[in-house]
Chain A
Amino acid sequence: MAYLQILVNGLVLGALYACLAVGFSLVWGVLNVINMLHGSLIILGGYLTFFSWHSYGINPLVALPAVALLLYAIGYLIQLAIINPIVTQPVLTTLTLTFGLDLILYNFMTVYYTATPRRVTLDLGIVDLGGIVMPVDRLLAMGLALLLTGLLYIVMRGSRIGWAIVAVRMDRDAAALMGIRVERIYAITFGIGALMAGAAGAVFAMVYPITTNLTGTFLGKAFVVCVIGGLGSVPGALAGGLVLGIVESLAGQLVGPQHALTVGFVLMLALLVVRPTGLTGVRGYE
């Protein structure tokens, strides 16, 4: 029974990880950019949700879509104005640039919001299913995370924008010849990445206290999930997130919670060496 509880905990955590990493994975897969800004965008989404709840009493479920759209706009503009001009340069340049942007965003958030941990408290009670205990707000967060990830999957598979993104990911030059405006698709993709980050932040703020100090942790999770699951695909991120959630949950039980983080990173390094395209990845994209 204890292991069932651990498994459920892991699945809840894993769904959140998938949601927070899927945008990062999309940006990396399509733009070939390691977006160091991702962690700060998650926290920004979380803060915006928290403050609209705390100061104006807006329900986080209502705030979430608004926050996500705002983050989309921010991401779209950042990509269009700043990242697009250098997007084809080597990883050192693009990674450094997004890290510079991250320093700026992080600094302003720390000054305006301070680093105090904050969370939205919904108090929805606890559900007990035959010995497996779970707070309802966490179940809600898990449901939201899966819903958001699923929505992204539907958009990628069933809309013209989604097809265009997949086309650019497969072959940038061929996509351009087919009349796809690659620069616009890049901006939209980065916007979607930011949107998912903001939404994930909003979901996180409902169940865990968030602070600017967590940006690095979230970014690290995104790295690990991406490497486990493979780049640029929604099912890959989902698989990677769930695997990481369960592994961390199990490791927390078996070797102690202080080593759970380490196990995730060691798993990532091992997979990088053995299978750099990830569990669901396709060769030839790197």
Chain B
Amino acid sequence: MTARSWHYFLFGAWVLALASTPLWGGNYVIRLAITIAMYSALTLSWNFIGGFTGYPSFATAAFVGLGSYAGALTQNAGAPMLVAWLIATIFAGAFAAALGGIILRLKGHYFAIGSIGVVEVARLVTASWGSLTGGGDGLNVAFLPGGPDVVARTFLAAMIAIMVAAFAVTVAVDRTRFGFALRCIQQNEDAADMVGVNTTRCKIAAFVLSALFCGTVGAAYASWTGYIDPNESFSLLMTIKVPVMCLLGGAGTVLGPPVGAAAFTLLEEFFWANFLDYNRAILGAVIVILIFFLPGGLLNIPRAWSRIAGRRRSRKAPA
């Protein structure tokens, strides 16, 4: 098996493991599986713009938040749940297309600050537009009928489906000319432009891809929890957590985002359970350690290891 098909195989096994949680785990385990699938979808999305294209986007929370509100408002207006999710997806994508034309002209630090600014503006507008969004009081969404077990299974299936869809698009991008063009932009945008890559269109397309599934996840999250508010939906913590997960797994790779999302979520859960007062500090320490000791992400460990081992071997070899 090639490395690529190994990765697909591992992901398939992981999906089955997550999907089987209702068979062997309690509600807590299912909830954890839903969270992992949700963050995997977000991380895979961010990977299009942040990993493949190399633009430090911190707009994830804006897309998720807008998706939540678009989904919740459509659902409250009487639309069926799946229609609401679809509309939220399209809304997030359209927003990214409009926004991308403006802020993708910025690079590096300015792009980073601009994308954080978008999250802040979205949060402030949502919080002050009380007549539509309920303002700071938040918005209630009708719960799915059928009791906690049915609800948990439904949303597990939904989040896994979104994750698989995001993964499928990632595979498609990875194997096509479009993905190659994005990697060219990441390495040298001017050179890519010179050899005939339409950089503007490619960047906007990557930005839209990074928003679509965030919109779906946001809407699904709103239906799942039944309540959203501006501070939770547009949180700075989330907008930075998602890139960190991607870095943890390995940015710009196919399997890195789900690996990073799973590892990070499990670590965070462990810290919440055991060190309630200091969970944020430990999270911060994990980030610092990650930056210093795992610059290529978890997926890079075997390669880094073989490099170290190789160096040792060559040192032993007689000159």
Partners in one complex: yes
Closest CB in chain A relative to B123 CB, distance in Å:
9
When distances are taken between beta carbons in the complex, the residues of chain A under 8 Å from B292 are: 85-86
Residue from the list B116, B279, B288 in contact with A223, Cβ < 8 A? B116
* B287 at the binding interface (Cβ < 8 Å): yes
Which B256-283 residues have a C-beta within 8 angstroms of A? 277-281, 283
What 0/1 readout, one digit per residue, does chain A (99-112) give for beta carbons within 8 Å of chain B? Answer: 11111101110010
When distances are taken between beta carbons in the complex, the residues of chain B under 8 Å from A96 are: 240, 243-244, 247, 287, 291
* B226 at the binding interface (Cβ < 8 Å): no
Most A CB atoms within 10 A — which of B113, B279, B283? B113
Residue from the list B56, B127, B244 in contact with A90, Cβ < 8 A? B56
When distances are taken between beta carbons in the complex, the residues of chain B under 8 Å from A128 are: none
When distances are taken between beta carbons in the complex, the residues of chain B under 8 Å from A262 are: 121, 124-125, 128
Stretch at the interface among A116-124, A141-149, A194-202, A267-275: A267-275
Q: Which residue of A lies closest to B135 (CB)?
A: A258
Which B93-132 residues have a C-beta within 8 angstroms of A? 102-103, 105-110, 112-114, 116-118, 120-121, 124-125, 127-128
B278 lies within 8 A of A111 (CB)? yes
* A69 at the binding interface (Cβ < 8 Å): no
* A181 at the binding interface (Cβ < 8 Å): no
Q: Complex: how many Å from CA A276 to CA B287?
A: 30
Closest CB in chain B relative to A237 CB, distance in Å:
15
Q: Complex: how many Å from CA A70 to CA B243?
A: 33
Closest CB in chain A relative to B16 CB, distance in Å:
32
Residue from the list B114, B117, B236, B284 in contact with A100, Cβ < 8 A? B284
* B10 at the binding interface (Cβ < 8 Å): no
B121 lies within 8 A of A104 (CB)? no
Q: Which residue of A lies closest to B288 (CB)?
A: A100
Q: Complex: how many Å from CA A163 to CA B53?
A: 38
B102 lies within 8 A of A273 (CB)? yes
Known contacts A273-B102, A286-B108, A266 near B113 by CB under 8 Å: no
Residue from the list B105, B110, B117, B243 in contact with A286, Cβ < 8 A? B110
A104 lies within 8 A of B117 (CB)? no
A104 lies within 8 A of B120 (CB)? no
Residue from the list A93, A102, A216 in contact with B284, Cβ < 8 A? A102
B113 lies within 8 A of A86 (CB)? no
* B29 at the binding interface (Cβ < 8 Å): no
Q: Complex: how many Å from CA A82 to CA B285?
A: 12
Closest CB in chain A relative to B166 CB, distance in Å:
20
A272 lies within 8 A of B287 (CB)? no
When distances are taken between beta carbons in the complex, the residues of chain A under 8 Å from B54 are: 90
B236 lies within 8 A of A216 (CB)? yes
Q: Which residue of A lies closest to B105 (CB)?
A: A273
When distances are taken between beta carbons in the complex, the residues of chain B under 8 Å from A97 are: 287-288, 291
Q: Complex: how many Å from CA A82 to CA B105?
A: 32
* B215 at the binding interface (Cβ < 8 Å): no
Residue from the list A90, A92, A258, A265 in contact with B117, Cβ < 8 A? A265
Q: Complex: how many Å from CA A286 to CA B111?
A: 11
Q: Complex: how many Å from CA A130 to CA B77?
A: 55
Known contacts A92-B243, A106-B280, A273-B103, A268 near B287 by CB under 8 Å: no
B56 lies within 8 A of A95 (CB)? yes
Residue from the list B107, B121, B240 in contact with A265, Cβ < 8 A? B121
* A220 at the binding interface (Cβ < 8 Å): yes
Known contacts A34-B109, A96-B240, A276-B106, A103 near B283 by CB under 8 Å: yes
When distances are taken between beta carbons in the complex, the residues of chain A under 8 Å from B250 are: none
* A74 at the binding interface (Cβ < 8 Å): no
Known contacts A86-B292, A276-B106, A100 near B287 by CB under 8 Å: yes
B247 lies within 8 A of A92 (CB)? yes
* B71 at the binding interface (Cβ < 8 Å): no
Q: Which residue of B lies closest to A277 (CB)?
A: B110
A269 lies within 8 A of B278 (CB)? no
When distances are taken between beta carbons in the complex, the residues of chain A under 8 Å from B283 are: 100, 103
* B50 at the binding interface (Cβ < 8 Å): yes
When distances are taken between beta carbons in the complex, the residues of chain B under 8 Å from A272 are: 103, 106, 110, 113-114, 117
Closest CB in chain B relative to A81 CB, distance in Å:
11
Q: Complex: how many Å from CA A167 to CA B124?
A: 40
Q: Complex: how many Å from CA A258 to CA B107?
A: 31
What 0/1 readout, one digit per residue, does chain A (242-278) give for beta carbons within 8 Å of chain B? Answer: 0000000000000000110110011011001100100
Which chain B residues have a beta carbon within 8 Å of chain A's beta carbons? 50, 54, 56, 102-103, 105-110, 112-114, 116-118, 120-121, 124-125, 127-128, 236, 240, 243-244, 247, 277-281, 283-288, 290-292, 295
| 13 A-B pairs (CB sep. < 8 Å) | A34-B113, A85-B292, A90-B54, A91-B112, A95-B112, A96-B291, A97-B288, A100-B291, A104-B281, A107-B280, A107-B284, A269-B114, A269-B121
